[in-house]
Chain A
Amino acid sequence: MKRDSQNVLLGIKHLSKSFGGVKAVVNVSFDLNEGELLGIIGPNGSGKTTLVNLITGFVKPDAGTVTYRGENITGRTPYRIARLGISRTFQMVRPFAAIPAFKNLVIPLYSPRMKGLTGGGYGDRDSVAKDLLEEVGFERESSVTYKPAGSLPHGYLKRLELARCLALRADLIILDELFSGLSIAELASIIPIIEKLMHEGKTVVMIEHRLRELFRIADRVVVLNFGQAIADGKPAEVMEKDDVKQAYLGSEAEE
């Protein structure tokens, strides 16, 4: 579904961050339009996750600004940014291990953002949580919904992390390496969920290494290398550029 109105949802201007002597993100700027699926790609260590941490408030930038719907949100705390409607997954997926899978989702449902959406009261959150799990592909009322989250297989852990992200009903969803470790079959069942998000008008940012699957769904792609944005445009155009090809030479990118 092509979007006609190009509203800038997220504006990144001259964002920079160094850790000690290491320049993790160097003067990165780009705009994210509403309803886009943006891919952020680059070799390992190119600053992709740091960029996401800067946007979502887990790390404070040394320089630059982040604006969301025109509002400057640079350096705000993560929970305030989440309440604005920006949610993210984590690359190292760690659920709340001791509690059942669906109870994991009660935590985001408890957030102040959700006051209007769930009815409040003990029972309501449980059923909303189970509905959410069904949306990401947990079979309803199967044993896997009730298993302690720590014992779930990897594919279900990724779905649970995605569900945790979706539970906030965010408008901007940042997925950090969602596809990593998934088999082709699991990918085939997760990609329709992302496409459904796009249909609903959400904006999605995906950090990925699996370029073939990403390029099928991404509208636009930003390439990072050593903290700098070296390319920004449609996937096919970007992969033709020389410096992008050079950045990937020698690393494990799949063409």
Chain B
Amino acid sequence: MKQKRRERIDRGVKVRSDDIFALTSYREMLYVTLPPAIPVICLLVAPLFLPLYWQKVVISACVFALLAMSWDFLVSVGMVSLGQALFFGVGAYVAGSLDVYFGWPIWLTIPLATFLGGAFCALLLLPVLRLRGVYFAMVTLVLPLMLERVIEATAILGGTEGLTGLRPFPSVSVELVIITVAVLVCLFGFRRLMNTDYGLVLKAIKDNDRSVMSSGINIYWMKFQALFVAGSVGAFAGAYMTHVYQFVGMPAFALDYSILPVAAAVVGGTGTYAGAMLGAFVLVGLLQGLPGLILFSFAPLLPEHVVGLLTKAVDELHRMRTVIYAVSLVVFVVALPEGIFHYIQRKYQQFERWVEVEK
């Protein structure tokens, strides 16, 4: 009985277009440049022409994409964070406070919230840097919940009511452009960063931090820098959403902001920031987009009580969203651990065939 095994070989066009040889023909150039170019152009241009509901979905997906990429970055350094909500909430509150208590405009509050928020979170997590693996994750999980309770108990920064009446963006188009540009800057920035020697050292810390230490590198300082970068990205997302909602309150520390980014990054493929972004769009699109699509498209066509049932179902779905994120995470870890992006990339670059095993 002859046995067969699966063999994966790079496609001809991939081999021909590797490195500078892509410039040898238009076909090869397109093969290399189209996959990044099309999503970038779509992301920058398309949302401006969508109806308002879908623009809000895109905004939401972009915010979660930022949180997912920030999580992916921390994982590359070896820190598994279960508390992206910490970065989000701190950024949100700093922006809100600067607006309400100081009256500063948006173009001041958001950058300040980004860097102050990032610094604050990094300093907050400083004592935990020396702890190994699981303990870091536990502390990050608990910190946003703790801050939520502190705000509730001490009634500072608006307490349970939160801060309202914050300045909005000039228009939805401005909101869209800012967030899509931010997502693309993060995407390409992170990818470029991890390709440098600095990124190599960060990845080495995850692999074997003892060797890195004995090579004369202060791994705690490097981890602190990584926390600052990841925290700043998350804080930007929080500050941005504060001005979109024109409100900040305890929900800024919701578990949503911790769990969805993890699910998004795993579904899309960890290690590739494009995967995190893709995962965020898939999950937010499924959960917020699809029900909305069904409701809006079919609502006019269906009798009232069916519409009522569908609305209830959508509400139920929304309440179950954490379960759905978690289930999709588990399903992907089991069925497609490499993630969607890796899968697409592999299919694009390689083809498979069965070969007989020589005995």
Partner of B215, one of A58, A77, A164: A164
Question: Are the CB atoms of A164 and B211 closer together than 8 Å?
Answer: yes
Question: What is the minimal beta-carbon distance from B53 to any residue of chain A, in angstroms?
Answer: 43
Which bucket holds chain B's interface residue count?
A: 10 to 19
Question: What is the minimal beta-carbon distance from A129 to any residue of chain B, in angstroms?
Answer: 10
Question: What is the minimal beta-carbon distance from B103 to any residue of chain A, in angstroms?
Answer: 43
Question: Are the CB atoms of B217 and A107 closer together than 8 Å?
Answer: yes
Question: What is the minimal beta-carbon distance from B196 to any residue of chain A, in angstroms?
Answer: 6
- Asked if B213 is at the interface (CB within 8 A of a chain A CB), the reply is yes
Interface residues of A in 77-115 (CB under 8 A from B): 77-80, 82-83, 87-88, 90, 94-99, 103, 106-114
Question: Are the CB atoms of A106 and B197 closer together than 8 Å?
Answer: yes
Question: Are the CB atoms of A110 and B201 closer together than 8 Å?
Answer: yes
- Asked if A228 is at the interface (CB within 8 A of a chain B CB), the reply is no
Chain B residue nearest in CB terms to A124: B197
- Asked if B203 is at the interface (CB within 8 A of a chain A CB), the reply is yes
- Asked if A125 is at the interface (CB within 8 A of a chain B CB), the reply is yes
Of listed B197, B200, B212, residue having the most chain A CB within 10 A: B197
| Residue numbers in A under 8 Å from B214 (CB-CB) | 56, 58, 78-79, 82, 87-88, 90
Partner of A110, one of B198, B207, B210, B211: B198
| Residue numbers in B under 8 Å from A125 (CB-CB) | 197
1/0 per residue, CB under 8 A from A, across B206-224: the answer is 0110111111111100000
| Residue numbers in B under 8 Å from A113 (CB-CB) | 216
Partner of A82, one of B197, B198, B201, B215: B215
Question: Are the CB atoms of A96 and B197 closer together than 8 Å?
Answer: no
Known contacts A90-B210, A94-B208; A111/B215 CB under 8 A:
yes
- Asked if B129 is at the interface (CB within 8 A of a chain A CB), the reply is no
1/0 per residue, CB under 8 A from B, across A161-181: the answer is 000100110000000000000
Question: What is the minimal beta-carbon distance from B338 to any residue of chain A, in angstroms?
Answer: 15
1/0 per residue, CB under 8 A from B, across A228-244: the answer is 00000000000000000
Cα separation A77 to B200 with both chains bound (whole Å): 22
Partner of B213, one of A78, A103, A122: A78
| Residue numbers in B under 8 Å from A168 (CB-CB) | 215-216
- Asked if B204 is at the interface (CB within 8 A of a chain A CB), the reply is yes
Question: Are the CB atoms of B216 and A98 closer together than 8 Å?
Answer: no
Question: Are the CB atoms of B213 and A79 closer together than 8 Å?
Answer: yes
Question: What is the minimal beta-carbon distance from B216 to any residue of chain A, in angstroms?
Answer: 3
Question: Are the CB atoms of A96 and B216 closer together than 8 Å?
Answer: no
Interface residues of A in 36-93 (CB under 8 A from B): 56, 58, 77-80, 82-83, 87-88, 90
Partner of B211, one of A56, A83, A107: A107
Partner of B216, one of A79, A90, A94: A79
Question: What is the minimal beta-carbon distance from A59 to any residue of chain B, in angstroms?
Answer: 12
Interface residues of A (CB under 8 A from B): 56, 58, 77-80, 82-83, 87-88, 90, 94-99, 103, 106-114, 122, 125, 164, 167-168
20 A-B residue contacts at CB 8 Å? A56-B214, A79-B216, A83-B216, A88-B214, A90-B211, A94-B208, A95-B211, A96-B211, A98-B203, A106-B197, A106-B200, A107-B204, A107-B212, A107-B217, A110-B217, A111-B215, A112-B216, A113-B216, A164-B215, A167-B215
> Given contacts A106-B201, A107-B215, A110-B217, could you give 14 more A-B pairs where the C-beta distance is less than 8 Å?
A77-B218, A78-B213, A79-B218, A82-B216, A94-B208, A94-B211, A96-B203, A98-B207, A107-B217, A108-B215, A112-B217, A122-B196, A164-B215, A167-B215
